[in-house]
Amino acid sequence: MDTTDFQDIVVITGPTGSGKSELAIRLAQEIDGEIISVDSMQVYRGMDIGTAKVPGDQRLGVPHHLIDVADPDTEFDAGQFVRMAGRVLVDIRDRGRVPVFCGGTGLYLKAFFCGIGSAPPANPGLRRELESLTLEELRHQLAAISPGSLDHIDIHNKRRVVRALEVARLTGRSPSETWSPWKENIRKWPEQTFVLGRDVTKLKEKLDQRVTTMIRDGLIDETRQLLERGLLENTTARQAIGYRQAIAHLRESVSLEDTVGEIRVRTRQYAKRQRTWFRNQMPSTPVPADDPDEALAVILDHLKSSADFTRRLPA
């Protein structure tokens, strides 16, 4: 089967804390599936607590792919994800099983199903120059070169602004011009795409508790170990929510109380941005996920009602 034929694929996505991982595991058990992780931080070895990786003994025998495939001192990007996920997809199909993409990194999903676009790779020298600037300076330069870009990126995320300015400087074009032709490729998006949603108040409570649990389980010590393994060399991973604040705690004497508060705020903001992205950027079926059993039943009913999908299921 052609790797660009995506109608045998299930996608489980949604904001952080919506229960994607657990639901995907249960679904995979039901449909003889294997999980392809779509998480830009779970690719890194040793980044376990802060990324909420499901421990191996809790994966219930379901194979997981694209977790722990890079060292914390090396960069990993959407292009690498697309290439690796493509190979894994072929392997899963060859074994007669169902690919289940699970994760909340929307950029990776978009790149895989709609094309990586023509943006140039990172330029180490230019990247170092831009990283040395303040966020305000970066935004000012981007506005001067490509003002429309500020409407299409998270202007509070320094990493995103750096990348947008890097592309503009290298190509002389707006970053949006280098993105894949979304309208042309949207038809390739898997029909069986499900976006999990939770009550906002309940989600906030879960995210706050998750941060408490991460601190209790050793996020600070994990970050200390990652720093010894070169985390600061990775301009992407060191900015991950949780780790960035833990680094400030370890290196800049930010109090633990302030660290926890900052992680909670940033996590809530990230979940809100994810909800907006999934609502506006991809065709999908929304699934209320406050009750995991009901969410699983909704997805299974939807799959069973699709003749095109069920004929592709393993015998």
The residue ranges of every structural domain in the chain are 10-117+180-310, 124-178
pLDDT higher than 80, residue 302: yes
Return the higher-pLDDT residue of 166 and 259.
259
Q: What is the mean pLDDT of residues 137-155?
A: 80
Tell me how far apart the alpha carbons of residues 165 and 172 are, in angstroms, rounded to a whole number.
Answer: 10
Q: What's the pLDDT at 199?
A: 95
83 backbone φψ class: left, alpha, beta (φ>0; ψ -120 to 50): alpha
Digit-coded pLDDT (tens) for 151-185:
767 777 787 888 888 888 888 777 766 665 555 55
Which residues are CB-neighbours of 91 under 8 A, at least 6 positions away?
none
How much is the pLDDT for 168?
83
> Counting every residue, how long is the chain?
315
Q: On the CB side of 267, how many CA atoms lie within 13 Å of its CA? A: 26
Query: Does 134 have pLDDT greater than 80?
Result: yes
pLDDT, position 131? 86
Question: Which segment of 37-46, 113-122, 138-147, 213-222 scores lowest on mean pLDDT?
Answer: 113-122
The sheet carrying 10-13 orders its strands as: 64-65, 33-37, 98-102, 10-13, 193-197, 285-288
Higher pLDDT, 51 or 282: 51
What is the chain's mean pLDDT, rounded? 89
Tens of pLDDT, residue by residue over 34-56, are 999 999 999 999 999 999 999 99
**pLDDT value at position 1?**
43
Is the pLDDT reported for residue 312 higher than 80?
no
Q: Which residues pair with 99 in a beta bridge?
A: 34
**Looking at beta carbons, which pairs linking 49-58 to residues 24 or more positions away fall under 8 Å?**
49/214, 49/217, 49/218, 49/219, 49/222, 50/214, 50/219, 50/222, 50/223, 50/240, 50/241, 50/242, 50/243, 50/246, 51/240, 51/242, 52/16, 52/21, 52/210, 52/214, 54/21, 54/22, 54/25, 58/25
pLDDT of residue 152: 67
Instruction: Give the tokens for residue 295.
Output: 């969410």
- pLDDT at position 4 is 58
* The pLDDT of residue 118 is above 90: no
pLDDT at 6: 85
Q: Same fold for the domain at 10-117+180-310 and the one at 124-178? A: no
CB 256 within 8 A of CB 215: yes
Confidence label for 148 from pLDDT (cuts 50, 70 and 90): confident
Output the pTM of the full model.
0.85
Query: In whole angstroms, how large is the CA radius of gyration of the chain?
Result: 20
Cβ atoms within 10 A of the Cβ of 74, count? 15
The correct answer on CATH 1.10.20.140 for the domain covering 124-178 is yes
- The arithmetic mean of pLDDT across residues 272-280, rounded, is 89
CATH class of residue range 10-117+180-310: alpha beta
Q: Which two tokens stand for residue 156?
A: 């509070």
